[in-house]
Structure 1
Amino acid sequence: MKKKGEKIFILIGIILMIIIPLTSAGFIDWFKKTITGQATNLPTNVSVTISGTNDVIIESIRVVGYPDITLIEGQGKDITINVVLNDTDGVNDINDSSVQANISNTADGITRSNTSCVHLGDLDAQRANYSCVISMWYWDIQGVWNVSASGEDLGTKVRTHNISETNLSLGILKALTINPLLITWVTVNPGGTNAKASNETFVNNTGNYNSTINVTGINIYGETITTESINVSNFTAGSTNECDITGVTASYLINNTAVTVNNTFANRGNLSIGSGTGQEKIFWCIPNVPYVSSQTYSTNSSGGWIIAY
């Protein structure tokens, strides 16, 4: 009986050793850690960003150099717009990368934009300042341009737009270049007709002024017999490569007087595009060559002809 009791006691002990670890997670973890040497639990970081519920407000838009902007001949000009955004949920709720500005003109249908304005800094807990640089070009139409800005916050993600109360005013830029600088007739015979010049003149509009082209001609004098001259009224300036004496596409010149060249236009535009954009041509002709001495006649002593708007 004694041995039988000892066996029962040992059996109960073995059963308890099996059951107790199964009912104790701590023991199992301790056992695993003891056996494997690896941790069975690790800490994890928790981060929650609470975004605001109020939309951002475009508080102010200011054009540096307002009100009048002077363009640069044949070049672009950077216009700086300062924009202040206000968010009652705090500046940290403003999406800095969302701030944009644009300048638009309804007459031309042109909009110039900056979609990546630069965050200059925070003015206080709710307001942030941004700088937006937009390039205006020499051919941009003169007059009033609308200035606007927009931005988003991180909370509502609603894009807020605002139009500035102070619009941009572009002035008139009258500017041009001509090429070549010399008009030549290689061989002209006295009494001849419809003598076209060897070259036309290209007039490049390097400003934003739109108008017809004028030519102020001067009588030309002989380089050998300086007392002889050819009256400038013998010459025509026209918009087509023909000697038109009807006055439809060409105009007779008048000594020391600005004469409008028929059917010409300043044709403002981006010269770099080519294909005649921003460019006009003037063709020259002597419909009836006068009977004068054989020599070279030029503007050397009288002064050059003036091409202008």
Structure 2
Amino acid sequence: MITQPNYVPERLALLPTSALDPFLTEELLKAEQVHGGIDLAKVVEPLPEDDARWWVEPIRSLVEDVMFEFGEDRTRADAWLAPRLHASLRLTRREAADKRLWNHIALAVAPDYVAWRHLSEPTAKRPERRINPERFRGPADRQCFSRLWWAAELFRNGPDYEPVEIACGNQDLIHNVIKLELIDHRPTAQALVRLLKNGQVVVGRGFNGLSAAINAAGATLIYDVLAPDTPRDPVHLRDWIAEAESAPPVERHELPKGPDEDPVPEESVAALTSYFAELFETAPVRGRKTAD
């Protein structure tokens, strides 16, 4: 397994995908050899030096801790890392939508984590272990670090990251549901987490069927009417970002706190949880026996 590059930058930067591609060598994708780092540093666009958020050390420290803590239990790392990555890297959604930032984190800062988390297991059809290039430079729901940040952003309940832990503890939920536009509706996100927490939806094919049913129903039903949300005050997010310079490192044994936004109205979560539970009862789930 590869280790971190010989040269790890002190600050985050923006790495265009066109400049990243030459560094995605066969040796790297097979987790045999990582780039040195110096040449990569020549093709990045620096971020403002007066912004404390761009220091690499908090991110580098997190990935080293998570690899040590979870060893071979790689999938469990998502639930631990997602809220702490989000709380360490305090971004606006506009900033998080810039793929160049995630390119840089994956390739320049923590390619060893990408290899540790996403190196495939050998199978009869594909005996060669390999990292999917999308884990370095893919879309938001596939790239190694952006998928965790966005999962935390979409599933947090105001400052509370507990729903993020639950959501990221289920690979089917974050893999299938995070791609739905409806998940940006906060009561929808919280209702899905509650269904999972209460054991009302089975993992695997259950969530596949439910996510399809929710998406189809959303074409004719406006969830905002059934389960209204409170308006989000951008001041809370701006204040939280401004506090990054003086914020201590995120807790390792307790969940951090997110922006001090109002939580989702409980009545809206309850209404959608009930509605989704009914949808799931009739959703086509492969392998599930239906009643006569």
TM-score, with length taken from structure 1:
0.19
Higher strand share: 1
Where relative contact order (Cα < 8 A, 6+ residues apart) is larger, the structure is 2
TM-score, with length taken from structure 2:
0.19
Higher helix share: 2
Task: Report which of the two structures shows the higher radius of gyration computed on alpha carbons.
Answer: 1
